Structure 1
Amino acid sequence: MAGVAGNQPLYICRNCKNPIALRSDLLSKAFIGKYGPAYMFSHAMNIIAGQKEDRKLITGAYSVADIYCCNCGEILGWKYLRAYEMQQKSKEGKFIIETAKIAKEY
């Protein structure tokens, strides 16, 4: 596992321990997912994106795709594909991952 991120802490799938995101890719801890607190990441790894769909979220309308662990299939959160409001465009391409679905590993 150390070879994946060198000595950098990373976030892993709580279910199967698959590496999901690097600590350096964490952008914000101030998000709410479908089921509770969530983090925003600039990048995620070892995931599979589901079908694109439009969703009305707290901050507006978006095209998103649910993301799943590529190892165990656990739903982790979603990826912002498109923001329909100009002030939310910075979220495009970013990942929202539920904190209950990941664990920090050092």
Structure 2
Amino acid sequence: MGERGPRIYSCSNCRSHVAEHDDIISKAFTGRNGRAYLFQTVVNVTVGPKEDRQLMTGLHTVADIQCSECQEVLGWKYEKAYDETQKYKEGKFILEKAKVMKEDW
């Protein structure tokens, strides 16, 4: 049996590689369209302008992230959390489950 490569998440629109399964911090998040995953790192995305957004866990400064290939909005980046208990999210990324797909696993 050969070594399997990393388990990859891709943009469900154009299949551009956007994240690795090993970078998931939590699957217990909610995005705009249902379930969402919190990732340590994502790739091949562009980060939009920052804005304050009232989320279920309070006020955060976030920036939407888009696939750099097809410009599909995949989720957002947490830039700043105003509640001390939410600070762990800063610099992390949300990918919406509906917007990404598992690639070859």
Structures share fold, TM-score greater than 0.5: yes
Aligned-residue sequence identity (percent) comes to 50
SS at match of 1:7: coil
Q: Does 1:27 align with 2:25?
A: yes
Q: How does 1:6-85 map to 2 (within 5 A)?
A: 7-85=5-83
Q: TM-score, normalised by structure 1?
A: 0.92
1:3: which partner in 2? none
Residue 35 of structure 1 and its aligned partner are, at CA, apart by 1.3
**What letter is aligned with 1:100?**
A
1:90: which partner in 2? 88
Q: Residues 19-47 of structure 1: CA distance to partner in whole angstroms, max 9, x if unpaired?
A: 00011101111100011110110000000
SS at match of 1:89: helix
Counterpart Cα distance in 1 of 2:54 and 2:14: 31
2:98: which partner in 1? 100
Q: Residues 58-80 of structure 1: CA distance to partner in whole angstroms, max 9, x if unpaired?
A: 00110000000000000000000
Runs of 4+ in structure 1 off by over 6 angstroms are none
**What letter is aligned with 1:43?**
T
SS at match of 2:69: coil
Number of residues of Structure 1 aligned to a counterpart in Structure 2: 101
Residue 105 of structure 1 and its aligned partner are, at CA, apart by 1.3
Q: TM-score, normalised by structure 2?
A: 0.93
Q: Which runs of 5+ in 1 are unaligned?
A: 1-5
